[in-house]
């Protein structure tokens, strides 16, 4: 990856996780406070799969009238090329209500994935029972999130540390092998189908933006890009990402967006508090992208606009 240290902050960050994602512990206050301090004026909350944290985010944003808040979500969907992460930006409260069946499906999927992971690791002879997983969740997730979302999967980072501490594995490589063997022992449930989920979200007015696209686009393979643009009903591309879009691909994605009248977004994808002050707004997305994004977001969705 090229010189990330030289990157100036953008005035917007449209990919942020809070503790309402099972693999994140940022609070929305930390994000708003830091954004306000360092001059990131527009942020999107895009927790994994669920919008349970949006009411809290809207409430907290009332104390930061200088920050425009875009309610969103990051959905992993099954597609013709495997699992793809799609950001949905600009969810109104009406959209959130109307999409209840989608949230129900993801809520259940998270529970099923958590159980399958525990069962797979247990099948290999290691004690990662549902009770152990619950204990691990309680060690880093706020109780209010567990009470709403139940026995979700754990974050990779926390699970790896737990497995190392318990002596299941001794390093990152062994951890990866163990997780892969566990997935063979007990297959994990597939992500909800993009063909069903994405049209429903789009119909509610939210913009569909493919997240950290290099893996899905095969770098910048035009056939893949064109195919996914149609299949995923894309409104935009996360052309800039703090870690997962190499800088040389950003102008290529941007040119393709202009060609197809798509928006270009940028985000940091922060999960952990220790990264927030350094990482918020840290992507190479251009300032001129923002007015294009703002013009297409449903205005009723924007908080503090």
Shortest distance, CB of residue 212 to Zn ion, whole angstroms? 6
CB of 53 to Zn ion, least distance (A): 13
Interacting span for Zn ion (CB under 5 A) from 59-67, 70-78, 163-171, 182-190: 70-78
211 binds Zn ion (CB under 5 A): yes
Report in angstroms how near the CB of residue 112 gets to Zn ion at its nearest. 20
Site for Zn ion contains 85 (CB under 5 A): yes
- The binding track of 27-66 with respect to Zn ion, each residue x by CB under 5 A or -, is ----------------------------------------
Nearer to Zn ion, 211 or 282 (CB): 211
Only segment of 60-68, 112-120, 124-132, 269-277 that touches Zn ion (CB under 5 A): 269-277
Between β-strands 236-241 and 82-89, what pairing exists: parallel, antiparallel or unpaired?
unpaired
Count of residues that interact with Zn ion, criterion CB under 5 A: 4
CA distance 209 to 231: 12
Q: Which residue is nearest to Zn ion (CB)?
A: 85
How near is the Cβ of 149 to Zn ion at its closest, in Å? 17
3-state secondary structure of 245: coil
- Tell the smallest beta-carbon distance from residue 61 to Zn ion (Å): 20
DSSP 8-state symbol, 114 = H
- The DSSP secondary structure of 192-228, one letter per residue, reads PBHHHHHHHHHHTTPEEEE-STHHHHTTT-HHHHHHH
Beta carbon of residue 172, minimum distance to Zn ion (angstroms, whole number): 20
Residue 56 zone, left/alpha/beta (φ > 0; ψ -120 to 50; rest): alpha
Burial 167-193 (b: 16+ CB within 10 A, else e): ebbeeeeebeebbeebeeebebeebbe
Residues 6 or more apart in contact with residue 268 via CB below 8 angstroms: 13, 15, 16, 241, 242, 275, 279, 280, 281, 282, 283
* CB of 121 or CB of 211, closer to Zn ion: 211
Compare residues 13 and 128 and give the one whose CB is closer to Zn ion: 13
Strand runs (DSSP E) across 154-223, as ranges? 207-210
Residues that bind Zn ion (CB under 5 A): 74, 85, 211, 269
């Amino acid at each position: 990856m090229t010189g990330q240290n030289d990157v100036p902050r953008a005035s917007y960050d449209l990919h942020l996780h809070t503790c309402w994602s099972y693999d994140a512990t940022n609070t929305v206050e930390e994000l708003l406070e830091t954004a306000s301090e360092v001059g990131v004026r527009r942020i999107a909350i895009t927790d994994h799969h669920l919008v349970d944290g949006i009411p809290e985010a809207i409430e907290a944003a009332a104390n930061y009238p200088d920050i425009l808040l875009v309610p969103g979500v990051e959905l992993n969907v099954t597609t013709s090329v495997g699992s793809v992460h799609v950001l949905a930006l600009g969810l109104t409260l009406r959209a959130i209500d109307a999409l209840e069946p989608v949230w129900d499906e993801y809520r259940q999927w998270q529970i099923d994935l958590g159980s399958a992971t525990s069962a797979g690791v247990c099948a290999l002879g290691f004690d990662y029972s549902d009770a152990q997983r619950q204990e691990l969740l309680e060690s880093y997730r706020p109780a209010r999130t567990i009470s709403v979302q139940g026995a979700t999967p754990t974050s990779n980072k926390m699970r790896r540390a737990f497995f190392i501490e318990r002596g299941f594995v001794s390093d990152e490589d062994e951890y990866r092998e163990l997780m892969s063997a566990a997935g063979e022992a007990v297959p994990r449930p597939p992500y909800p189908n993009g063909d069903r989920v994405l049209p429903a979200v789009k119909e509610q007015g939210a913009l569909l933006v493919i997240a950290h696209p290099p893996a899905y686009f095969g770098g910048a393979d035009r056939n893949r890009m064109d195919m996914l643009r149609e299949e995923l009903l894309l409104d935009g591309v996360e052309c800039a990402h703090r870690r997962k879009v190499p800088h040389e691909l950003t102008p290529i994605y941007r040119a393709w967006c202009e060609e197809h009248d798509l928006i270009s977004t940028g985000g940091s994808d922060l999960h952990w508090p220790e990264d927030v002050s350094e990482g918020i707004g840290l992507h190479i997305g251009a300032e001129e992208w923002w007015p294009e994004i703002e013009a297409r977001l449903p205005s009723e969705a924007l908080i503090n606009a």
